[in-house]
């Protein structure tokens, strides 16, 4: 979809952003419930649906029907419905959901701790970047961050990034719960959960933004 078409689409105002992690086993479900113990308003753990994606970004809007129509105008595709969530894919194939907003959570959530990283193939990065820059117009700041990451593989995906002031200690906690370390970089450690799904624990920046130089935030 070209820039001129995007420029004439009415912006979708997002009231809240949350993430869903799909746990294909009880061990994985228990693992994530322990890992995300204080993040329930922005992260939830569910058994997998027909969609094989390990995670999903959920956008909460005041009018889900109108929001869905506008997402389709932007180039998204509807793939189904589950639990009151309209399931969609971005032009590059990232799974996300659209659901009705029911008000701020009763318990506040600290911002800058969790971030959903959208893994975009290099040849679709610019196209999907324009889509997300329009789709993620927020009504106000929300605790769950979203980043775009260029990857050298043909399939789009998503992974959770947890930012922590003591990365080494947090990684040890995850390993004790059942995670496996598969790589260590200057700013993040890559792990697999008990089902082999990839995620990262990163150093937390004071400004709450993504610590990785390879990631950008939709503007």
What's the pTM? 0.86
CATH number for 175: 3.10.180.10
Instruction: Walk along the chain (219 residues) and give the pLDDT tens digit of each residue.
Output: 444 444 444 556 899 999 999 999 999 999 999 998 767 788 989 887 656 678 999 999 999 999 999 999 999 999 999 888 999 999 999 999 999 998 777 666 777 889 999 999 999 999 999 999 999 988 888 889 999 999 999 999 999 999 999 999 999 999 999 999 999 998 899 999 999 999 999 998 755 555 555 677 775
pLDDT one-digit tens code per residue, 80-104: 998 889 999 999 999 999 999 987 7
Q: Which domain holds residue 209?
A: 3-103+110-216
Non-local (6+) Cβ contacts of 196 within 8 A are none
DSSP alpha helix (H) spans, 163-202: 167-177
DSSP label of 3: H
Number of domains in the chain: 1
Cβ–Cβ < 8 Å for 218, 132: yes
């Amino acid at each position: 979809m070209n820039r001129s078409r995007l420029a004439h689409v009415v912006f979708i105002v997002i009231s809240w952003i949350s993430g869903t992690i799909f746990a294909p086993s009880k061990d994985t479900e228990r693992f994530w419930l322990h890992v995300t113990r204080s993040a329930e308003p922005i992260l939830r753990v569910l058994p997998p649906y027909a969609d094989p994606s390990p995670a999903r970004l959920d956008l909460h809007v005041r009018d889900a029907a109108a929001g869905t129509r506008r997402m389709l105008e932007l180039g998204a595709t509807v793939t189904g419905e589950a639990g009151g969530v309209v399931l969609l894919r971005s032009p590059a194939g990232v799974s996300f959901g659209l659901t009705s907003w029911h008000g701020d959570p009763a318990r506040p959530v600290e911002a800058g701790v969790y971030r959903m990283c959208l893994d975009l193939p290099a040849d679709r990065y610019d196209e999907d970047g324009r889509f997300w820059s329009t789709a993620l117009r927020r009504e106000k700041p929300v605790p769950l961050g979203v980043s775009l990451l260029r990857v050298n593989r043909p399939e789009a995906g998503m992974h959770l990034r947890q930012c922590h002031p003591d990365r080494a200690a947090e990684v040890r906690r995850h390993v004790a719960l059942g995670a496996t370390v598969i790589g260590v970089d200057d700013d993040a450690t890559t792990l697999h959960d008990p089902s082999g799904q990839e995620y990262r624990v990163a150093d937390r920046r004071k400004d709450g933004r993504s610590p990785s130089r390879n990631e950008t935030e939709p503007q």
